[in-house]
Chain A
Amino acid sequence: MISRFGAFLRSSIGKKALMAVTGLLLIGFLIVHVVGNLTLYADGDGTQFNAYAAKLEALGPLKVLAEVGLTVLFLAHIALGLRTALENREARPERYKDLAPKGRRTMASMTMVVTGAVLLVFLVIHVIDFRLADFSKVGLAKLVMERLTSPLGAGIYLVSMAFLGSHLWHAFQSLFQTLGLRHPSYAPTIKWVGSALALAIAGLFASFPVLCMMFEGQWPWS
């Protein structure tokens, strides 16, 4: 069976399927992540947010497991992305003068490698910013606020979220196709849900730097 699974993973369709599955799981992670982050809006001083962070910390080995899992997902997704991108280049050694659009290509679908690469750089920055930083003294909420209210930090986060939105916009509908789950009767729904999801995730993430800059924790609703 191993050889069969190996053959599946070496095949073009297998690679794409695995990319789709890892991508789907990563979307799941992003949803959890963004919902968790919403606790930042619960109060002005970040108490709830810090409590949420502490809860995650308290998970102990489970948290380690989740982090290892996430790392594996990211690495697999990235590795497959690079691998297929290289293969795709090889598949057309001599380029066209200019391959003009005729069909349904979109900016998002044509730039998955680019948006992916930008997100990879962002991921490194993001991990350094928050995961590897020492926030035991000030609390995570304070750190976040500091980072997101600096023009550079806010800029990096906002731009990256635009790329995330684009990546997700193509990724969500695309993964249904790749996993063979796309059917004409619900393809429009998938497209609609995908667009909404991409907008929601990227938009909510982007709201943090924007609102932090605007209100510096003094939320109008709290």
Chain B
Amino acid sequence: MSGGHDHHSGGLNLTLHVWRQKDAQAEGRFETYALQGISEHCSFLEMLDQLNEQLLREGRDPVAFDHDCREGICGSCGVVINGQAHGPDRETATCQLHMRRFHDGDTIYVEPFRAKAFPIQRDLVVDRSAFDRIVSKGGFVSVNTGAPQDANGLPVPKENADLAMDAASCIGCGACVAACPNAAAMLFVGAKISHLGLLPQGAPERRRRVLAMVEQMDRDGFGNCGNIYECEAACPKSISVENIARLNREYIVASACERPAVERIGD
């Protein structure tokens, strides 16, 4: 829109090492690019936009990266910046990271989220459908659209509602997996288990839910939790590792108490 202008005409000069990989099968490698005059007010993704404009002008393939809302809520974006998922800031998705966090002359390594369960599709784009598969096994309340009871018919203690909301704020970006030295998905699954398990609506199927979701999580090839807690730090929503403790508890109890016939939830 009219009226906008750059506050700083100088801007940052950066050296970027970006992971380039043609497709899932191809070999990947870092390529090096020099960028000049990047405003410190622009976001990290806007910096990549400018890189792509530059590449396009030079007749080179732009860098593919996932992004959509660019306000930290859709969970599409996510790259590893200098070894840190979503970059150096806490509680920040890549799209919310601003270039004022960097200095003139910096060298920045940009890599995709790496995990066996997140195969690379191109450059910085990875396939995170493993998360959807996990949710499809039990990350829901089995209620059909219809006429449930009045919304206030089921009081929920505020503390539980707040804790459930804390967990439910997960944006499914996968940074927890990316930052985990073991590529474990426990924070993602733990958040879902907490969100639904803390609410009375989710209680009836909590045991079947946790068994089914963990089974799928393991099948997708995520690693094991080592209680290193890098996930919590990388999470743009600061979801607490307390949720992993809850997941462990729920899983152990469910394993001990649930009847053996495990049919899928929702059948």
Residue positions of A touching B, CB distance < 8 A: 1, 3-5, 7-8, 10-17, 84, 87-88, 90-106, 109-110, 112, 170, 173-174, 176-184
Contact = CB atoms under 8 A, between A and B. Distances in A.
Interface of B: 28, 30, 80, 82-85, 88, 90, 109, 111, 114-117, 179, 181-184, 186, 214-215, 217-218, 221-234, 240-242, 244-253, 255, 258, 260
A105 B228 CA distance: 5
Nearest to B240: A184
Contact of B83 (A87, A92, A99): A99
B233 A96 contact: no
A180 B249 CA distance: 4
Contacts of A100: 82-84
Given A102-B179, A178-B225, A183-B242, A91 B184 contact: yes
B217 A12 contact: yes
Given A4-B260, A100-B83, A102-B84, A174 B114 contact: no
B220 to A, nearest CB: 10
Contacts of A184: 240, 242
A13 B228 CA distance: 15
Contact of A91 (B28, B116, B251): B116
A33 B182 CA distance: 33
Given A87-B224, A97-B83, A177-B245, A104 B230 contact: yes
Contacts, number: 157
A103 B217 contact: no
A97 B231 contact: no
B250 to A, nearest CB: 7
B224 A88 contact: yes
A184 B116 CA distance: 32
Contacts of A84: 224, 226
Task: List 9 A-B pairs, minimum CB-CB distance, nearest first.
Answer: A103-B233, A180-B249, A100-B83, A91-B223, A88-B182, A180-B248, A91-B183, A104-B229, A174-B227
Contacts of B88: 102
Q: Which residue, of B30, B248, B255, has the highest number of chain A Cβ atoms within 10 A?
A: B248
Nearest to B232: A103
Contacts of B111: 96-97
Contact of A102 (B116, B182, B217, B233): B233
B248 A90 contact: no
A102 B230 contact: yes
B179 A92 contact: no
A101 B230 contact: yes
Nearest to B245: A182
A90 B117 CA distance: 10
Contact of A97 (B30, B116, B227): B30
B179 to A, nearest CB: 6
Contacts of A93: 116
A27 to B, nearest CB: 16
Contact of B226 (A99, A112, A180): A112
B248 A103 contact: no
Nearest to B231: A103
A177 B247 CA distance: 10
A33 B157 CA distance: 48
A16 B163 CA distance: 25
Contact of B181 (A99, A178, A180): A99
Contacts of A177: 227, 241, 244-245, 248
B183 A180 contact: no
Contacts of B247: 13, 180
Contacts of A10: 218
Nearest to B28: A94
A211 to B, nearest CB: 34
A193 to B, nearest CB: 16
B188 to A, nearest CB: 13
